[in-house]
Structure 1
Amino acid sequence: MSADGGFDHPASEADALFFVSCARPWLTARFVRPQRMLSWALARPGFQTADQVVWLEVEDDDLPVTVDPAALLEARMQAAGFGDAVGMMTSRDVRRRRVAGAASGGASARCLATVGLGNASRVGEPSPPPREAWGTINLLVACSVPLTDAALVEALSIAVEARTAAVMASGRAVDGGAATGTGTDCVVVAAPLGDPAANFAGLHTDVGVAIGAAVYEAVKNGACDWMAHTKDHNSADEGRP
C-alpha cells in the first residue's frame, strides 16, 4: 500500500482485485477492468459499472448546514478527474484505512475500509447526536467471481452483516447496548463483468464466505484502531491544564 499517491503492488490473488492509492484528501481503489457495482454511495449509487471507487476526506468546516454533501462530493470529484467513479465521503483520516483479503474455495475477496465510530448507533434505537466528532464506516469489498444482479444484492447483505458483526465485536457501546454500525455508513460491493455469473452469494457459498471474512477483518481492525486513537486523544485532552 502506498501513502504517497502511488498505487500499491499486489502480493496475493485477493490483493490483485484492485489497487489502492492514498493522496489526501483522496483514497482511491482502482480496478484493471470495469466492475459491476452496487451501493448507496453519495456519488453514482445503485447498480453501476465503474473501474474506480474513491473516498473524499472532509472536515466539519467543509459541510456547514447550507451545503449539500452530494453536490460537494460531485463537484470535487469532477475537479479531480474522478467523474466516472463511485464516490463516498468520510471525516476519517484516509491514511488510517484498513485493507483485508480472504479466500474460500475458488473465490477471493478484498475489502478497503475507513472506520470511524463517533456516529455509532444501534439498529432500531433512536440516534442521538454523536458525543465525539462525526465518524462513519465507508467500505468497498470486491470479489473475484462474476455475480448476477440478484447475487450482488445478496453480496451486499453479507457485507453489511459482516460490518455489523465486526462493530459489535469491537466493544463499542451506545445507549441501549452494543453499537451495530453508524448512522451514515456506506457499503460498495463489486464483482467482475463476465459469464458465467454466480446466482448466489450467501453465507453457504465460497464467494459469500470470502466477502464476509474480508469485511469483518477490515472493519474490526479499523474499529479497534479508531477506539485506541480516540482514547489516546481524549487522554491527552484530559491531561492539558
Structure 2
Amino acid sequence: MIDAPTAFRLDCARPLLLATFPAPQRMVGWALQNPGFVMADRVAWLEVRDADLPTSRNPALWLTERLSALGAGGAVGMMTARNVALHHVAMCTVEGVRAECVVTAGLSNAERIGRRFRADPVRAGTINILCHVSVPLTDGALIEALALVVQARTVAILEAGHRPVADVPPVTGTGTDCVVMAAPCPANGTLPAPYAGMHTAIGEAIGHAAFAATAAAVSEWIEAPPGRP
C-alpha cells in the first residue's frame, strides 16, 4: 500500500482486503457480489487461486459463502488472484472535491477491446477497482463517474504497453475486471451533483486518482518475476 485513504478504513489480512465506510454509500458497478446500484458500507477483495474455485459451483455463490465466513457478508465483493497486500491507493483533491481509489491489478486475463486472446480465460486474473468521491452524485453522475474510472484504467493499461501475445497491440483491460464507484448520500438538504464529466472538478479528481492507482498497480505486476503473486 502506498498511501492511506481518509473516506474509508482499509484493512488487509490475507486473503481479504476490506474497505469500510463510516456510513452506507451509494455505489454502482459490476462486482461479483452485490452488483448494480446498491447501498453498502463495505467493499471487499478476496484473494483466490483458480484451484480455490470449484468448477461445479457458481463463482458468485462461492464468493458469497467465503466472504460471509470471513466476516464480510453483505459487502460489495470482488475476487483477485493478486496478493491483496500489493494493492495501490491514490488520492486527488480538486476545488475541494476529493477522490480516493484502491486498485489490485493482475493481467493474466488480459484482452484488447474488440478481440479475444483467450477462449478459456484464467478465472482469477483481473483488475479490481474501488473509487470514492467526496460529494453526492445523481444516478446519472454516478454512472458518468464510473465511466471515467474505466477510461482512466484503460489509459493506464495502454500506456503500460503490455502484450500477452507477440506482434499484437497493447491490451486494454482484462476479461474479468470489476469496477465499483461510490459516493456519499445527500445530507442536510444538499443536492447531489448532476454531472461528473472531465470538465468538472469531480471528473478531474476521479480521473487523476483512478489513473494513478491503476498505473502503479499495473506497473508493479508487469515488473514482478514469473509466478506473479
TM-score (norm 1): 0.87
Alpha-carbon RMSD across the aligned residues, in angstroms, is 2.1
* Mapped pair 1:157 → 2:147: yes
Opposite residue 159 of structure 2, the aligned amino acid is A
Corresponding position of 1:187: 179
Opposite residue 228 of structure 1, the aligned amino acid is E
DSSP-derived class of the 1:169 partner: helix
* Mapped pair 1:79 → 2:69: yes
Q: 1:174, CA displacement in angstroms?
A: 4.2
Separation of aligned partners in 2, 1:75 and 1:134: 17
DSSP-derived class of the 2:90 partner: strand
Separation of aligned partners in 1, 2:178 and 2:115: 19
Contact 2:123/2:176 (CA < 8 Å) preserved in 1? no
* Mapped pair 1:46 → 2:36: yes
Q: 1:206, CA displacement in angstroms?
A: 0.6
Q: 1:65, CA displacement in angstroms?
A: 2.3
Opposite residue 208 of structure 1, the aligned amino acid is G
Corresponding position of 1:239: none
Cα deviation digits, residues 62-82 of structure 1 (max 9, x gap): 114222110110111222222
Larger RCO (CA under 8 A, 6+ residues apart): 2
Note the 1:50-129 alignment, pairs <5 A: 50-128=40-118
1:130–1:172 CA distance, 2 compared to 1 (3 A):
farther
Separation of aligned partners in 1, 2:15 and 2:89: 18
Corresponding position of 1:178: 170
TM-score (norm 2): 0.91
Q: Give the percent of matched residue pairs that are identical in Structure 1 and Structure 2.
A: 47
DSSP-derived class of the 1:124 partner: coil
Opposite residue 107 of structure 2, the aligned amino acid is L
Separation of aligned partners in 2, 1:156 and 1:131: 25
1:132–1:72 CA distance, 2 compared to 1 (3 A):
closer
Q: 1:127, CA displacement in angstroms?
A: 3.0
* Mapped pair 1:197 → 2:187: no
Structure 1 stretch 166-175 or stretch 180-189: which is displaced more? 166-175
Aligned length: 223
DSSP-derived class of the 1:203 partner: coil
Q: 1:96, CA displacement in angstroms?
A: 0.6
Cα deviation digits, residues 189-232 of structure 1 (max 9, x gap): 00000131000011111111111111101111001100111xx2
Contact 2:48/2:81 (CA < 8 Å) preserved in 1? yes
Contact 1:119/1:129 (CA < 8 Å) preserved in 2? no
Contact 2:45/2:79 (CA < 8 Å) preserved in 1? yes
Separation of aligned partners in 1, 2:70 and 2:124: 25
Moved over 6 A (4+): 130-133
Structure 1 residues not aligned, in runs of 5+: 3-7, 235-241
DSSP-derived class of the 2:143 partner: helix
Opposite residue 223 of structure 1, the aligned amino acid is V
DSSP-derived class of the 1:38 partner: strand
Contact 2:28/2:35 (CA < 8 Å) preserved in 1? yes
